[in-house]
């Protein structure tokens, strides 16, 4: 019936609407969350260094002011490094590197300021460990958000009767780039296939390499698929032809990525799929 709704759809819709309203304020909100992480990690570092019995009582009277100053240093460095402009749902190794350099720079600046002011009662171990704790905290927040975002999108796509579910033949660099583009377009990638024995069982972008090209007709792989995609732009003509022949045996629509020449020229993107007639 037209009035029926997917279970949990209202709650997920509310979450997405809330995130959409907050998105224009992403930069100040990110700085606020990062500042809270810096504060939490400052306290956790004391706890780690001094234990439960002394983590609060052994602090100097001016520790609150020091913590505030350290937090301002981190916020300033993170803002200067454009960290708040990063989109958490795309967080990856590049974001971790940016956070690493920002935490290292902020930690050095904060420690130098504390030492220069002669605040000797602040434990040196806290100054040394705090940047490490902060880096771990900032990365954890981003990873948790990305996991939540991707899980929410996966539930929404799986509940849609029109969702496109693909098996990708090829598990190289082209497939890695393709996965990100496909998932942003609403595709569900069920499995990757590759003839390289070293890739069997590996995971790329959260998708498992479930077998070789010959396994494309296995019921447990293609039963719920709607498309087969060949992602082998750098392979030979014979290798691509073999993959297409195997894919055609599934009687599903077969799509392919642009050629390596088109990708190199920059005239198209790898997720611009095209249909082929086996």
Break the chain into its structural domains and give their ranges.
9-156, 164-276
pLDDT value of residue 23: 65
Residue 86 confidence class, pLDDT cut points 50, 70, 90: confident
Using DSSP's 3-state secondary structure scheme, residue 249 falls into coil
Hey, CA dihedral for 207, 209, 212, 214, is it positive or negative?
A: negative
Tens of pLDDT along 102-119? 999 999 999 999 999 999
Tens of pLDDT along 191-219? 999 998 888 888 887 888 999 999 998 88
Does 3.40.50.720 match the CATH number of domain 164-276?
Answer: yes
Q: What share of the chain in percent tops pLDDT 70?
A: 78
CA pair distance 81, 86, nearest whole angstrom? 10
Using DSSP's 3-state secondary structure scheme, residue 200 falls into coil
């Amino acid at each position: 019936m037209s009035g029926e709704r997917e279970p949990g759809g209202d709650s997920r819709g509310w979450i997405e609407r809330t995130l959409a309203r907050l998105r224009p304020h992403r930069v100040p909100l990110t700085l606020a969350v990062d500042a809270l992480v810096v504060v939490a990690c400052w306290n956790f570092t004391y706890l780690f260094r001094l234990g439960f019995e002394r983590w609060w009582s052994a602090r100097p009277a001016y520790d609150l002011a020091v913590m505030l100053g350290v937090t301002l240093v981190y916020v300033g460095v993170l803002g200067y490094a454009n960290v708040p402009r990063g989109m958490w749902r795309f967080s990856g190794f590049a974001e971790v590197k940016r956070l690493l350099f920002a935490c290292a720079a902020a930690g050095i600046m904060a420690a130098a300021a504390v030492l220069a002011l002669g605040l000797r009662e602040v434990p040196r171990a806290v100054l040394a460990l705090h940047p490490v704790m902060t880096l771990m905290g900032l990365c954890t927040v981003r990873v948790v958000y990305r996991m939540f975002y991707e899980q929410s999108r996966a539930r929404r796509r799986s509940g849609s009767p029109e969702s496109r579910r693909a098996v990708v033949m090829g598990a190289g660099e082209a497939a890695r780039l393709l996965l990100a583009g496909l998932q942003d377009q609403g595709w569900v990638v069920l499995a990757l296939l590759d003839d390289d024995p070293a890739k069997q069982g590996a995971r790329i972008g959260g998708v498992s390499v479930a077998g070789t090209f010959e396994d494309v007709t296995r019921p447990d792989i293609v039963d719920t698929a709607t498309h087969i995609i060949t992602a082998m732009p750098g392979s030979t003509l014979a290798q691509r032809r073999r993959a297409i022949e195997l894919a055609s045996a599934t009687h599903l629509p077969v799509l392919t990525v642009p050629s390596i020449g088109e990708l190199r020229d920059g005239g198209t993107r790898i997720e611009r799929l095209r249909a082929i007639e086996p």
